[in-house]
Amino acid sequence: MTKKEAERPKKRVEQSTPTQKVAPTQVTKPLVEKPKEQEVILEYSYKSKNMPINIRIYKTEGEFIPIYEVSIATISRTTEIILEKIRQELIKQVRLGMVDLTDTKKAGLVEERFSDTIGDLINRYFPDIDDQHKGFLTTYLIQRALGMGRIEILMDDKQLEEVAINSSDEPVWVYHQKTGWLKTNITVEDEDQTRHYATMIGRKVGRQISILDPLLDAHLNEGDRVNATLMPISTFGNSITLRKFSRDPWTITSFLKFKTLSIEAAALIWTAIQYELSALVVGGTASGKTSMLNVVSNFFPPTQRVISIEDTREIRLPKYQHWLAMSTRTANAEGRGEVSMLDLLVNSLRQRPDRIIVGEVRRKREAETLFEAIHTGHSVYATFHANTAEEAVTRLTNPPIEVPKIMLPAISMLLVQYRNRRTGMRRTFQLAEVLPDGNSNVILQYDAKRDNMLAANKSKALMDTLELFTGHTQKELNSELKEKVQLLKIMVQKNIEGIDDVGLVMAHYYTNKEKLFKELKTNKFKIGD
């Protein structure tokens, strides 16, 4: 063997060795790749109808937005496949007329008809199933057949404020009370699915959405607000945004617990409302104006008739109130059938109201009618966009609203709400009175450094008005304010927070407050009676 021949195999080995070391690494890299790290932020469970739902919110590597993961307990992937077969068979067996789907009064009958057929199909596919599992499988199928499937599961989570479908190319988004916007593990099949949901919602509220009329803005019977758009108006795909109506509205107890306003301010507001002084709730977008309006309504006596007028029903009064709720309606595709806030406001004056609640004043005619209602002897409460009491006066008295400044003193109080957008914290920023010349005078001012409301200026009109209409002296009014502070403290201590529970306390206060205080102090007062 020559020297060159002896060296050839050695070269081949040296050349192949690096290749043999690299190749296995390249092939096996995807197999041994570590899963993305997850940081769990929140875990909890709730029930959607009678289905147990598990929620896990977590951050994962490579995602800038946390994930909201939904899982339906005891329903495996295999079970879902079988349930989809049942759903297809269900559609063939049960035929419903359009009137059944659009008539809300027949909703129970429609579900009952589906339930009977579903029960037979479940027994066929799952012969050994128990009643509990059969119950939530039935609910699951009804939601898939008559509703929006897993979207309805999201709507049953009390900690969510918004549910948004932007397109079928991305997951459904939700806005969580504690964590803000999140991506979910739920998607819609395609754009037709989103359009089907929008059409179905429109039918339920007597509206339609189509290529010619691609925008839908409505609210459901439960009060949830729905906005839908169709392509090409929404560029990326058909969209639906559902804003959830709070099932547990804010009350004065909630405000005090979260330090939204001071207890002294609450007592003063209560006294003004009790003696039928009108108020305007002022603030920027999402500052808590409607929440404050709801809190103000906690103080209405149960013996008076209340009419609320809103574009989207958000106000909720205790069941002990004599309350009529009305909502506006937009025009149909032919431009007919509109019922405006002005129409309802004028109409409400013919229904003998003691109190009128207006969701929001936006236009000149609405503001004029509002002040006319006050001057004819009605107590009126409304919301208005402005950041301070002074700005509210400026906006009301200048174009485009242009209410004569001489009419402004009809509004006794301006309650200004504020939201810190960096922290999400909401506070009552100012409690102001309107002076006889139409200008505002701030009585209580929020101090951000101390996180509390402090006295700003002495009252020049509000207390005088209360003395005039009640016949009480300043000393008697102060004594009444102290009494209200005492009761509010007891409500916070005893956690009397529900809308109907607070309403019950108020009803007892106005009818027999001596008995109320006695029962509260001796723990004999029963909530819900």
The enclosing domain of 228 has a CATH number of 3.30.450.380
With CA atoms as reference, report the closest residue to 413 among 284, 268, 283, 300.
268
Give Cβ neighbours of residue 337 (< 8 Å, ≥ 6 apart).
329, 331
Give the least confident one: 26-40, 164-178, 186-200.
26-40
How would residue 30 be classed by pLDDT, with cut points 50, 70 and 90? very low
Which pLDDT value is given to residue 360? 87
Q: 266: which 2 tokens?
A: 């609450």
Q: Is there a single domain that holds both residue 188 and residue 318?
A: no
Q: Is there a single domain that holds both residue 380 and residue 481?
A: yes
In a domain, 6, yes or no: no
Residues 228-241 have pLDDT tens digits of 999 999 999 999 99
Q: Is the pLDDT of residue 401 over 60?
A: yes
In a domain, 165, yes or no: yes
Q: Is there a single domain that holds both residue 228 and residue 311?
A: no
Q: Is there a single domain that holds both residue 304 and residue 169?
A: no
In a domain, 38, yes or no: no
Give the least confident one: 92-106, 178-192, 453-467.
92-106
Residues 107-128 have pLDDT tens digits of 555 556 666 677 777 777 777 7
How would residue 418 be classed by pLDDT, with cut points 50, 70 and 90? very high
Q: Is the pLDDT of residue 100 over 70?
A: no
Q: Following DSSP, what letter does each residue of 109-130 receive, concatenated?
A: HHHHHHHHHHHHHHHHH-TT--
How would residue 211 be classed by pLDDT, with cut points 50, 70 and 90? confident
Q: Following DSSP, what letter does each residue of 177-211 receive, concatenated?
A: TTTEEEEES---S-HHHHHHHHHHHHHHTT----S
Average pLDDT of the residues of the chain? 83
Q: Is there a single domain that holds both residue 84 and residue 158?
A: yes
Give the least confident one: 109-113, 209-213, 277-281, 317-321.
109-113
Indicate the residue among 189, 215, 243 that finishes a domain: 243
In a domain, 10, yes or no: no
With CA atoms as reference, report the closest residue to 55 among 40, 68, 39, 74.
68
Q: Higher confidence at residue 16 or residue 41? A: 41
Task: Express as a percent the part of the chain with pLDDT over 70.
Answer: 80
Q: Is the pLDDT of residue 89 over 80?
A: no
With CA atoms as reference, report the closest residue to 238 among 193, 185, 201.
193
In a domain, 368, yes or no: yes
Which pLDDT value is given to residue 108? 53
Q: Is there a single domain that holds both residue 239 and residue 256?
A: no
Q: Is there a single domain that holds both residue 266 and residue 190?
A: no
Domain holding 224, by residue range, is 48-243
Rounded mean pLDDT, 276-280: 96
Residues 335-350 have pLDDT tens digits of 788 898 889 999 999 9
Indicate the residue among 243, 264, 287 that finishes a domain: 243
The enclosing domain of 365 has a CATH number of 3.40.50.300
Q: Is the pLDDT of residue 322 over 70?
A: yes
Rounded mean pLDDT, 394-409: 94
Q: Within a 10 A sphere around the Cβ of 380, how many other Cβ atoms? A: 24
Q: Within a 10 A sphere around the Cβ of 150, how many other Cβ atoms? A: 21
Upstream peptide bond of 9 is cis (omega within 30 degrees of 0): no
Which pLDDT value is given to residue 26? 37
Residues 171-186 have pLDDT tens digits of 999 999 888 899 999 9
Amino acid letter, residue 300 = F
Indicate the residue among 243, 272, 306 that finishes a domain: 243
